[in-house]
Amino acid sequence: MEDIGSIKRRTLLKGMAAATAVSVMGCAGQVATGSRPRVVVVGGGWGGLGAVRALAASGQVDITLIEPNDGFMSCPLSILYIAGFAPASDFQRSYGVVDALGVRRVKDRVLDIDRAGRTVQTATQSIPYDFLVLSTGLEYMEEALPGYAAARDQFPVGFRAFEQSAVQRQAATFLEQGGNFVITVPKPPYRCPPAPYERACLIAQRMKEKGTKGKIILVDANKHPMPPPLAKPMLAAMKEMYGAQIEYISEVDPKSIDAGRKVLATSKGDIPFTHANIILPMRAPGLIRKAGLGERFAAIELPTFQSKKDKNVFVVGDAQGTPLPKSGHIAFGAGQQVGEQILATIAGKYKEAGLGDEVTLPAAICWGKVSTSLAIMINVNASVAVGDPPKIKYQVDPAANAASSKGAMDWGRNMWNAMLG
């Protein structure tokens, strides 16, 4: 796995520590002479923490992190909690390290952004910025499935931090009662493409262990498991390990859900169920649209992650609208890059890539766990020639294996330590 923070990045940050904190912002505006640049980071997840750690290393900027939760919970690897193999605490961390870095942490939600006045408005205060980093995560498109909004508590999505407990309860009830457990998979883009298949596999493992009667019906809007390079090893694992527990149906579009009758209407007919994990299509939160930064997702420039609408605003993680996979690892790397880029701009050292220049983008390793002891590694590398769409390359294990399962857990601990260790 690529080390978190390259030598090049460390060298840049050391240079920033010796540079003046007051200078021209280049293409991103100016900071008044005599002031410390103010950077506001919205969202204390993977992308936001990547930005905070890079910015705080310089000691040159005033950083405000706005995050409504008291602590951090990892979505990656939390399937082990959802399926009942690990406690939730294994995937939770305190923000104590962030506080110790001198970051001002505001436990609140951002309601509006005044881009002209360079302020963000929370429920309780207005916070000024010179640079704004948005790592807002996502929201669910409930209107995409008629009948869902009225019954959301019965059919949790569980793709945002601290929502996993609702899906865990649903899975635990199914494992005790048996029946038909429907899991839906939307078309991309959605957070962590392997996650729905992981859920099916790990819950199926528990079914085998507990002797649960019934099956998991995996209703996939796609032709095969996502991302496409994962399809062959994931399908093989589901067939070989869970042929009696998982019924996989591809190219099926959910049309509506009837909570009372417990029926999912689809393009291939009605599917009755006893329990359901409805994974809806996703988009950036309404804040992005309200601020005029994009529609379904924020419109940004690569390789900078700057908003196409405002050069003082950067968007990383799931809210950005490029073809990059919506992965925690990529979000963290993008946050780091943006933090370093802001520091370089402050110091007058940032140089924009020229049109056609090939630039490496944040890389990632993702994992598709198919059991507690087996996983499929997905290595993602990306680059972009300025002005062109990004080029994305996948390297995937040919089959689930024990080494990748151990690697997934080692990776998780390393990433959590990089963010909050």
* Confidence tier at 356 by pLDDT (50, 70, 90): confident
Widest Cα–Cα separation across the chain:
70
Q: What is the pLDDT of residue 387?
A: 84
Contacts of 395 (CB under 8 A, 6+ apart): 229, 378, 379, 381
Record the pTM: 0.91
- Residue extents of the structural domains in the chain: 7-68+107-138+284-352, 142-281
Mean pLDDT of 347-375: 94
Mean pLDDT of 196-220: 99
Can you tell me the distance from the alpha carbon of 262 to that of 276, in angstroms, rounded to the nearest whole number? 9
Task: Identify the CA nearest to 75 among candidates 171, 194, 186.
Answer: 194
Domain 7-68+107-138+284-352 fold is FAD/NAD(P)-binding domain (3.50.50)
Same fold flag, 7-68+107-138+284-352 and 142-281: yes
pLDDT tens sequence across 234-245: 999 999 999 999
pLDDT tens sequence across 3-49: 444 433 333 333 333 332 323 233 455 554 458 999 999 999 999 99
Q: What is the pLDDT of residue 22?
A: 28
pLDDT tens sequence across 145-183: 999 999 999 999 999 999 999 999 999 999 999 999 999
Mean pLDDT of 350-359: 89
Domain 142-281 fold is FAD/NAD(P)-binding domain (3.50.50)
